[in-house]
Structure 1
């Protein structure tokens, strides 16, 4: 791993599966402030011409290693841009290929779009974007007018660019404007419009994104699970549990997401909502550390749509990107 004197990340080599992350001669995690003055709807629109005027955020004030131990290393970079200050912690965790970028930004610019961009050493015609209850492929070659209009697109927790045998996922915990053009992944961080609110996006921002190199595709890399963990970090507390910890539900397939585990609206059942995100029909078994007395499939309004079934296992077939919801009666 190498940095330039201005704090730009110039080289990252992924030992597994063994490749340079960034394209030849390019730096990764480029922090770029674009002039953002759309013709209409300042707070909502981004015009295709926004890339014509920009500046790199590269006025480096300081670099400090703030933590270095057996578990992780944190290197803190502090940049200034205009009237703003950006503090970036790069976090490297033991036995983990992901690089975390944790930002605290004191932002005082107007009509400037701050983005993080990664020119990758990956060639692919499509990028995969996380969307609600699934994912979708979008072209990286903008050959048609329709594709050219999609210079920025929505996604939730991750986007992935992969070729045969290797790839890179870009994860985030609260940013939804993405781009994938050629080998370049981008993430919009701060917009700072002036209409209808002149103070939009002014002040402090805290967010995290991560770069995850991997072998195989995003499924093999566990990209979806890693993004979920970034958005719902484990809470660590010291103490002695009153009872031994036991999982409420055990799901047989790793390519199913658990979207809700809650008390039903009636108060009589546990509601379990799942969705398939791997793009393949599959047979699923759900078990519990507790006793399942009975269960029934229901719709999104919690109205039963199937027969009540007794037994300690929930078995069902799920189609690609299908949502399944169950009412479950359990006892300890």
Structure 2
């Protein structure tokens, strides 16, 4: 019926509606739940994010700073971002207005409207949910700039020589300084669902649902949001864009904080359906392993599970299946049969190595 509820659900199975153990409150421009206190500015910035469990302030300066850069690559207009764009930063104008969009026990939202550049408008809804460990920024942009690059910047109260970026089936670390020519050449980093800056004991992550360019210099972590190239398509990227990102402060490093799982939850919300199996299709007891793919084999009726080790760890996991089966074997990416694995009841015992991509065939 459209009401917001709290759901408890396993990764690949049916969930259930549960009673909320937390509420979110709104006082002026301050949003607060059990985990976070978030203070917003009238200009649309975030002036404070307190991580209650650790007592740490997340920001060293106001965050969610929207920035415009000149974006005129020497060669490939739609493909390259050249380093001299870093010298052309202009902060976007502050928000024209703001209004409370939602105020309930489970969700509070404040919407900001502002001009971006010369011809564009942005509406951004800042959201904090009950029990949520991150503050979300749901953004709609009517984009009509030319040769401009839009970024958002979060100056973090974190100091580290490298930042971490999710990539396909793993992660990459890149320096946060320009000490050498090699470091300077890595001013823009491709990534998937998150970028993280962590020091010993505390860190902060930016989650995204559809953005794949990041950068970090010093303590300033950025997401590249929109570009406006004119070649080969003069109308490329013009029009309405809708996307979301979130700021997730956490105790410990990104591995201990479960950032990979948080990125997945941010990108793949719970789906409502009329019926569902009583037990999960598959489950893994080890947080280092991610079950990425479930499919039918290309040349048989076997079920194929593809997992990857996400943290650089080594160990032995148990994969529990919710369907009957008689054997489990390893396979390569072409699904050629490998070695038989030990099966104990409805569980498969699976050893794994750091950064390994594991393919299982279930019969």
Contact 1:97 1:212 in 2 (8 A): yes
Q: Which residue of 2 aligns with 1:268?
A: 301
Structure 1 distance, partners of 2:288, 2:338, is 24
What are the within-5 Å matches in structure 2 for residues 203-282 of structure 1? 203-237=239-273, 239=274, 241=275, 245-282=278-315
* Cα offsets for 1:172-217 (capped at 9, x unmatched): 1111111011101111010111111111110011111111000011
Contact 2:204 2:247 in 1 (8 A): yes
Q: Which residue of 1 aligns with 2:137?
A: 101
Measure how far apart 1:154 and its partner are. 0.9
Measure how far apart 1:224 and its partner are. 0.2
Structure 1 distance, partners of 2:233, 2:356, is 40
Contact 2:59 2:154 in 1 (8 A): yes
Measure how far apart 1:295 and its partner are. 1.5
Q: Which residue of 2 aligns with 1:75?
A: 110
Q: Which residue of 2 aligns with 1:152?
A: 188
Q: Which residue of 1 aligns with 2:47?
A: 10
Q: Which residue of 2 aligns with 1:327?
A: 361
What are the within-5 Å matches in structure 2 for residues 50-199 of structure 1? 50-81=85-116, 82-199=118-235
Distance 1:288 1:61, change over 3 A: same
- TM-score, length basis structure 2: 0.86
Q: Which residue of 2 aligns with 1:298?
A: 331
Q: Which residue of 1 aligns with 2:348?
A: 314
* Cα offsets for 1:218-246 (capped at 9, x unmatched): 11211000101111111134x5x3x6521
Measure how far apart 1:130 and its partner are. 0.9
Contact 1:38 1:47 in 2 (8 A): yes
* Cα offsets for 1:93-118 (capped at 9, x unmatched): 11222011111111000100000111
Give RMSD over aligned pairs.
1.6
Alignment length (residue pairs): 324
Q: Specify the SS of the correspondent of 2:86.
A: helix
1:48 aligns with 2:83: yes
Contact 1:167 1:213 in 2 (8 A): yes
Contact 1:8 1:58 in 2 (8 A): no
Measure how far apart 1:13 and its partner are. 1.6
Contact 2:194 2:208 in 1 (8 A): yes
Measure how far apart 1:309 and its partner are. 6.4
Q: Specify the SS of the correspondent of 2:339.
A: coil
Contact 1:273 1:325 in 2 (8 A): yes
* Cα offsets for 1:149-192 (capped at 9, x unmatched): 11001111111111111110111111111101110111101011
Contact 1:7 1:58 in 2 (8 A): no
Structure 2 distance, partners of 1:307, 1:277, is 24
Contact 2:327 2:340 in 1 (8 A): no
Measure how far apart 1:58 and its partner are. 2.5
* Cα offsets for 1:76-132 (capped at 9, x unmatched): 111112211111111101122201111111100010000011110001111111111
Distance 1:266 1:310, change over 3 A: farther
- TM-score, length basis structure 1: 0.93
1:287 aligns with 2:309: no
Contact 1:269 1:328 in 2 (8 A): yes
Q: Specify the SS of the correspondent of 2:359.
A: strand
Query: Structure 1 stretches of 5 or more lacking a match?
Result: none
Structure 2 distance, partners of 1:5, 1:260, is 44
Q: Which residue of 2 aligns with 1:31?
A: 66
* 91-100 or 244-253, which deviates more: 244-253
* Cα offsets for 1:286-309 (capped at 9, x unmatched): 112332211111111111122476
Q: Specify the SS of the correspondent of 1:167.
A: strand
Structure 2 distance, partners of 1:257, 1:189, is 27
